[in-house]
């Protein structure tokens, strides 16, 4: 049996490592309102859900019970992965990496960051693949 909205809200809050007070603040409500949402005594407004979306909560999961697909592009995560690869490799003088090597590392980093952010796991073939960078 799939969890109801209140239970999904609690699970999403815990996935993001937030207390009821913190999660309520993310949505612009009190701890008591958050508690009532999680226990099915009340339902949140669209404005509350929009604020959670802006705070990186998986609203698709809250509403439908299905996690956001990892194929959905999260541009903030992709930007962070790109900047990390750039800082680690491109900005270092004396190192020459091919575009393919840089892309492989970028892909690996962005997948790992998406998995961490959305609670998904990489496929077995992706977790066993090694990104090899030779100077």
Instruction: Concatenate the DSSP letters of all residues of 77-128 into one string.
Output: HHHHHHHHHIIIIITSTT----HHHHHHHHHHHHHHHHHHHHT----HHHHH
Q: Is residue 69 part of a domain?
A: no
| pTM higher than 0.85 | no
**pLDDT for position 68:** 64
Contacts of 126 (CB under 8 A, 6+ apart): 108, 111
Q: Is residue 133 part of a domain?
A: no
Over the stretch 8-63, which tens digit does the pLDDT of each residue have? 999 999 989 999 999 999 999 999 999 999 999 999 998 999 999 888 888 888 88
Reading phi first (left if > 0) and then psi (alpha if -120 to 50, else beta), residue 92 is in beta
Q: CA torsion, points 110, 115, 121, 126, in degrees to nearest 10? A: 10
Distance CA 10, CA 6 (A): 6
Task: Indicate whether 98 and 51 sit together in one domain.
Answer: no
CATH number for the domain harbouring residue 10: 1.10.260.40
Task: Indicate whether 94 and 58 sit together in one domain.
Answer: no
How many structural domains are present in the chain? 2
Q: Is residue 83 part of a domain?
A: yes
Quick check: 49 and 61 in contact, CB under 8 A?
A: no
Residue bearing tokens 């612009």: 28
Structural domain of 9: 5-64
Over the stretch 80-124, which tens digit does the pLDDT of each residue have? 777 777 777 766 667 777 777 777 777 777 777 777 776 654 443
Distance CA 55, CA 128 (A): 32
Task: Indicate whether 50 and 98 sit together in one domain.
Answer: no
Task: Indicate whether 42 and 87 sit together in one domain.
Answer: no
Distances (CA, A) of 115 to 15, 86, 127, 132: 12, 21, 11, 21
Which of 25, 44, 64 is a domain's end point?
64
């Amino acid at each position: 049996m799939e969890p109801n909205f209140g239970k999904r809200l609690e699970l999403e809050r815990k996935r993001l490592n937030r207390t009821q007070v913190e999660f309520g603040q993310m949505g612009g409500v009190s701890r008591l309102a958050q508690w009532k949402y999680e226990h099915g005594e009340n339902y949140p407004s669209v404005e509350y859900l929009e604020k959670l979306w802006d705070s990186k909560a998986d609203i698709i999961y809250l509403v439908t019970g299905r996690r956001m697909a990892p194929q959905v592009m999260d541009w903030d995560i992709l930007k962070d992965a790109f900047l990390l690869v750039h800082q680690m490799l491109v900005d270092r003088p004396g190192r020459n990496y091919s575009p393919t090597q840089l892309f492989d590392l970028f892909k690996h980093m962005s997948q790992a960051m998406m998995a961490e952010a959305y609670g998904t796991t990489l496929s077995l073939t992706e977790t066993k693949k090694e990104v090899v960078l030779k100077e």
